[in-house]
């Protein structure tokens, strides 16, 4: 099964991907994570992407599409299927993806805009295992509850960059709902104020139907 996770910054794509990976075994491919790994190791790709990410703009399509196409060609993905987190982010990327792979469904994580800023600015990520938490769940604990690793805040999780990321999402990405809706592949998950586990129960039901 191949799925696309759609949703605004902070909607919970990464959080849900981690549940789905454990239960369904799909390979999690996050373009944002790939760029951040490259930034950490100082590659040319990382240096180039940083400039766009710091401004909350999209990294150029040619770079991102090549990267995803290469990753999807690998054996683990072919064998186990994938979930794409953060790709596609505009119509061009969606059309390119359809040229090199077959998407079975688009899971649209629908969260009210007014809680996104708080979620993102309160996010802390584990340097060791990559799991993300909200400060309200941590109760003052400063290490990862899962593995004891160091927690950090992403460079682009500051109010100014988040404003810009949200603008980019609503002007360039949100209409992909329609693209996948027209193909009969859209599965909208209305999250309201449900916590991560409850949201996952809805997604799980949806994926079991698709299997
Ligand atoms: P990317 O890394 O993809 O970031 P994003 O889309 O902005 O998404 P986030 O990672 O911020 O949010 P999320 O939905 O994963 O939320 P999470 O689960 O962590 O992209 C970053 C940048 O890279 C882009 O701006 C762009 O520059 C570049 N880029 C990436 N892909 C690209 C592409 N295809 N083309 C061009 N450029 C690209 O949850 C957020 C917080 O909320 C956490 O603290 C979590 O604990 C909490 N939370 C989650 N679920 C719940 C819940 N149900 N209730 C309460 N709290 C919750
Ligand atoms: Zn950890």
Q: Summarize pLDDT for 54-110 with one digit per residue, the tens.
A: 999 999 999 999 999 999 999 999 999 999 999 999 999 999 999 999 999 999 999
**Hey, how many other C-beta atoms are within 10 angstroms of the C-beta on 143?**
15
Which residues are CB-neighbours of 172 under 8 A, at least 6 positions away? 58, 89, 90
Structure tokens that stand for 176 in this block:
């992909």
Options 13, 36, 119, 187, the catalytic residue: 13
- Mean pLDDT rounded to a whole number for the chain: 96
Task: Report, as an integer, the average pLDDT of 33-60.
Answer: 97
- Nearest residue by C-alpha to atom 18 in ligand 1: 12
pLDDT of residue 42: 97
Mark whether 187 is an active-site residue.
no
pLDDT of residue 211: 86
- Nearest residue by C-alpha to atom 21 in ligand 1: 32
Which residues are CB-neighbours of 16 under 8 A, at least 6 positions away? 5, 107, 109, 196, 199, 200, 203
106 and 187 Cβ atoms separated by less than 8 Å: yes
Q: Summarize pLDDT for 134-178 with one digit per residue, the tens.
A: 999 999 899 999 999 999 999 999 999 999 999 999 999 999 999
- Per-residue b or e along 167-196, where b marks 16 or more CB atoms closer than 10 Å to that residue's CB: ebbeebbeebeebbeeeebbbbbebeeeee
**85 CA distance to ligand 1 middle (Å):** 8
Strand, coil or helix: 151: strand
pLDDT of residue 159: 96
Residue 39 CA to residue 184 CA, distance in Å, equals: 37
> Which residues does residue 96 pair with via DSSP β-bridges, in sequence order?
none
Residue 91 CA to residue 149 CA, distance in Å, equals: 38
State in Å, rounded, how far the first CA of the chain is from the last one. Answer: 7
Task: Report, as an integer, the average pLDDT of 9-18.
Answer: 96
């Amino acid at each position: 099964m191949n799925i696309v996770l759609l949703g605004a910054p902070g909607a919970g794509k990464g959080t849900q991907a981690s549940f789905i990976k454990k239960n369904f075994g799909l390979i999690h491919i996050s373009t944002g994570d790939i760029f951040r790994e490259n930034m950490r190791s100082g590659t040319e790709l990382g240096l180039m992407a940083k400039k766009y990410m710091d401004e909350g703009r999209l990294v150029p399509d040619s770079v991102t599409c090549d990267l995803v196409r290469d990753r999807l060609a690998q054996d683990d993905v072919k064998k186990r299927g994938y979930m794409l987190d953060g790709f596609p982010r505009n119509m061009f990327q969606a059309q390119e993806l359809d040229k090199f792979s077959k998407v079975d469904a688009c899971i649209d994580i629908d969260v009210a805009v007014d809680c996104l800023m708080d979620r993102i600015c309160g996010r802390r990520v584990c340097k060791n295992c990559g799991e993300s938490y909200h400060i309200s769940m941590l109760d003052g604990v400063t290490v990862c509850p899962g593995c004891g690793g160091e927690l950090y805040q992403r460079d682009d999780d500051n109010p100014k960059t988040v404003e810009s990321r949200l603008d980019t999402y609503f002007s360039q990405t949100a209409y992909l709902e329609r693209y996948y809706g027209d193909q009969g592949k859209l599965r909208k998950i209305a999250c309201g104020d449900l916590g991560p586990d409850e949201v996952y129960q809805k997604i799980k039901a949806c994926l079991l139907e698709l299997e």
